[in-house]
Amino acid sequence: IPYRLPPPPCRGNCGSTIGDPHYTTLDGLYYDFQGAGEYTLIRSTDGQFVVQTRMQPWRASSSATVNTGVATQVGSQRINVLLPNVLAIDGAVVEGTSLDLTLDGGRLTRSGNAISIFWDTGDFISVSIPGDHINVRAQPDPLRAGQVSGLLGNFNGDPMDDISTADGVVLNQPIKIDELYGVYSESWRITQAESLFDYGPGEFTDTFTDPNFPTNPRTPEQLFTENPQAAVQAHATCQAQGITDPILLEACKLDVLVTGDPGFATGFVDETVAVIPEIAAVVEGSLPLDTMDPILVSALRRATGIQSSPIFPSDLANIRSLSTTNSGAVELTGVSSLRGLETADLSSLESLVITRSSLTDFSGLPNELPSLRGLSIYNNSLASLSGLPVELPSLISLQINGNRNLTNLLGLPVELPNLQYLSVSGLSESVLNLSGLPAELPRLESLYVSGFVNSLIGLPSQLNSLQTLLVVNSNLTSLSGLPIGLPNLDYFEIRSNGFLTDLSGFPGEAPNLRSLSISSNPSLLTLSGLPTRLPRLTGFSISGNGGLGNLSGMPTELPFLRDLFVSGNLNDLSGLGNSLPNLVKLTLTGNINSLSGLPELPNLTTLNIETASLLTNLLGLPSELPSLTSASINRNRNLTSLSGLPSALPNLISLSLFQNSNLNSLEGLSQVPQLNTLNVFPNLPLCPVKDQLPEKFLEGISCP
């Protein structure tokens, strides 16, 4: 049977589960579901097309889960895709990131982190791994209409009956939370007999089941209200990915907020949403129809439904007042002119969003917006910010993102005394700098810079209240323009800046910085520019910086660093300094050639060396790791020896040596008197170390 090319984006017979997780059913219904366990995503009545998902809590969250595994069957062959990036067929791991495999009844292709599976029956799924979660798209053959069931609905053309139990009982909308996580969740949980998943030693489907999860369900509105600063950052992160669909933008914002991981935004880029369920639909806004264009008035009076995004005429000449009870918010979408608003009474307006318009400036806005607290300007044709009021005394949040002709910020008020959250990004048609910002932003707490921003020059010389700083996907070549000191900075992320070669311009004083992430900057050659001392840093992540050969330039004094994550094409770990006295957790991954350069680690309790594809041994580890309790040395395909492990690991409780395909001996493993858990799958010879292992690990093994 000739195979087709991978299907295009969904065209009416496609469903998906993305992020933490958001579901779009085969009939286009959108809903969120945070169950914990293994579920039927889709199952055909003839049993030939079955897809199952494994959902686990995101880190320590009590309210969010993510997909961590997908299982299916093609003919007689069982296929698993599991985090972190494992493909297995019939329980055997399939290596390689570029694959084209013929299956018993289908075909499997892989390109990087994307896996496509085709059935001879015309069914198809795609599985992608954008980070620490899995996204799935399922596309059954059109002939299966009305002949499938599962979390993706029944494919009968009616989205309103998609949320139903395995017995066919439809949950009426609005859906109660206890029904969604009660009868609905339990009906789609798989049994051990139904499971297509692979399991580790001692694991079963019940291992992943938590019928009481989520223990603390929260609505998006509650989360956004409780975490306004993080919500603004999450919104800006999603916008920077070009996500404009209001439903997906809200879902993306929620995921990034709940998980704290900006990587979730990439999973929404190519998704679409058709219908929204009424799980929690509350409409509070109002517009006086007698003040609007007659054609629009007529259309609205005949309407039987409400669109989620506000509807406005393209020319606002006839509008004299806009009233709303939904937090005083107005969104202007697709307008060509603000003419007529000059005389409108907007004195109580608290939030204004202007998006996807053909405006070139803000002529027409009232001269005063005294109550305005939030202003979002994105995806417009703006060439200038002129026309904004000369004062915005109450403004707390300002987002200026994706305005393709904007090259600077001239036109902003000269003072924004209460601004706390600022997000700025540009598009490829412009090269944006920050000139035009007020000389002082005394209360600014969060700053997000992204897109085609080529310079930070224009920032105030002091940002003493700044706590969160993100520089992401920018055109910056350096960090010049930042203040020389940021006394209250707590979190700093530098990610995916294609032209950044060093860190010159990094604040010389950041005494309260606790978390620093430098990742996916392909041109970064050195860490020089970092201060020699970061006295309160507790978490440091350095990953995916393509030009970085070692860690030269690292601060030499990191007295409170507790968690260090290092990944990339590193020759060695030189540059770490002579002492990390309080490091508790160390994770090493990627193309690291050698562990040389590690200092003494007297308080290290957790060591993870995973997918370090160039390591052949463990030489370079400290000679003593007296506090180590857990070590995971997994999926290091060139690791042939454990030489380099300390001669004694007196407190080691758990050791995992999983899928190191060239490791054929445990020689080097020495005194481990407290060892309670040992994972050496696939089984390796234990006899060479029988004198060092507790007897329970040798039960049933005959050694000469």
More confident residue, 574 or 9: 574
Q: Which two tokens stand for residue 590?
A: 């990627």
Mean pLDDT of 539-558: 90
Pair type for strands 421-426 and 86-89: unpaired
pLDDT band at 672 (very low <50, low <70, confident <90, very high): confident
Which of 169, 191, 208 is a domain's end point?
208
Tell me the pLDDT of the chain averaged across its residues: 81
Distance CA 682, CA 554 (A): 38
| pLDDT score recorded for residue 24 | 83
Mean pLDDT of 350-362: 77
Q: What is the DSSP letter of 471?
A: E
In sign, the C-alpha dihedral spanning 69, 113, 449, 486 is: positive
Q: What is the DSSP letter of 457?
A: B
**308 pLDDT exceeds 70?**
no
**688 pLDDT exceeds 70?**
yes
- Residues 374-394 have pLDDT tens digits of 898 876 678 889 999 999 999
| pLDDT score recorded for residue 56 | 93
More confident residue, 172 or 84: 84
| pLDDT score recorded for residue 276 | 37
| pLDDT score recorded for residue 283 | 25
- Residues 161-200 have pLDDT tens digits of 888 999 888 887 667 788 888 999 999 999 998 999 999 8
pLDDT band at 218 (very low <50, low <70, confident <90, very high): low
- Residues 238-293 have pLDDT tens digits of 888 777 766 677 778 877 887 777 777 776 665 544 333 333 222 223 333 333 33
**627 pLDDT exceeds 70?**
yes
**226 pLDDT exceeds 80?**
no
| pLDDT score recorded for residue 573 | 94
| pLDDT score recorded for residue 428 | 57
Q: Which two tokens stand for residue 484?
A: 């020389």
Mean pLDDT of 589-607: 93
What is the number of domains present in the chain? 2
DSSP track, 490-529: -EEEEE--TT--S-TT--SB-TT--EEEEE--TT----BT
Residue 132 lies in a domain: yes
Which of 158, 177, 208 is a domain's end point?
208
> Worst-scoring range by mean pLDDT, 431-435, 505-509, 573-577?
431-435
Please state the length of the chain: 704
Q: Are 629 and 608 in contact (CB under 8 A)?
A: no
- Residues 404-436 have pLDDT tens digits of 788 889 999 999 999 999 988 876 567 778 999
Name which of 567, 572, 568 is nearest 586 in CA terms.
567
Q: Are 331 and 308 in contact (CB under 8 A)?
A: no
> Worst-scoring range by mean pLDDT, 479-488, 533-542, 611-620?
611-620
Residue 280 lies in a domain: no
- For the chain, helix, strand, coil in percent to 5 are 10, 25, 60
Which of 159, 180, 208 is a domain's end point?
208
Name which of 498, 504, 459, 509 is nearest 479 in CA terms.
504
Question: Three-class SS of residue 592?
Answer: coil
Measured between alpha carbons, how far is residue 293 from residues 323, 342, 344 in Å?
A: 16, 17, 15
| pLDDT score recorded for residue 544 | 81
Q: Are 456 and 479 in contact (CB under 8 A)?
A: yes
| pLDDT score recorded for residue 23 | 86
**4 pLDDT exceeds 60?**
no
More confident residue, 62 or 91: 91
Which percentage of the chain shows pLDDT scores above 90? 39
Question: Three-class SS of residue 229?
Answer: helix
Mean pLDDT of 339-357: 73
Range of the domain at 185: 15-208
Burial (CB count within 10 angstroms: exposed 0-12, middle 13-18, buried 19+), residue 243: buried
Residue 647 lies in a domain: yes
Residue 155 lies in a domain: yes
| pLDDT score recorded for residue 221 | 60
Residue 406 lies in a domain: no
pTM for the whole structure: 0.60
CATH number for position 71: 3.40.1000.10
Q: What is the DSSP letter of 29?
A: B
- Residues 488-498 have pLDDT tens digits of 999 999 988 88
- Residues 28-65 have pLDDT tens digits of 787 888 899 999 999 998 899 999 999 998 877 777 88
Residue 108 lies in a domain: yes
C-alpha dihedral, 600 to 520 to 59 to 174, nearest 10°: 170
Residue 43 lies in a domain: yes
Mean pLDDT of 618-639: 92
Cis, peptide link before residue 57, omega less than 30° from 0? no
- Residues 640-667 have pLDDT tens digits of 889 999 988 999 999 988 878 888 778 7
Residue 142 lies in a domain: yes
Distance CA 652, CA 675 (A): 6
Angle between helix axes 246-259 and 228-240 (nearest 10 degrees) is: 120
**134 pLDDT exceeds 50?**
yes
**509 pLDDT exceeds 90?**
yes
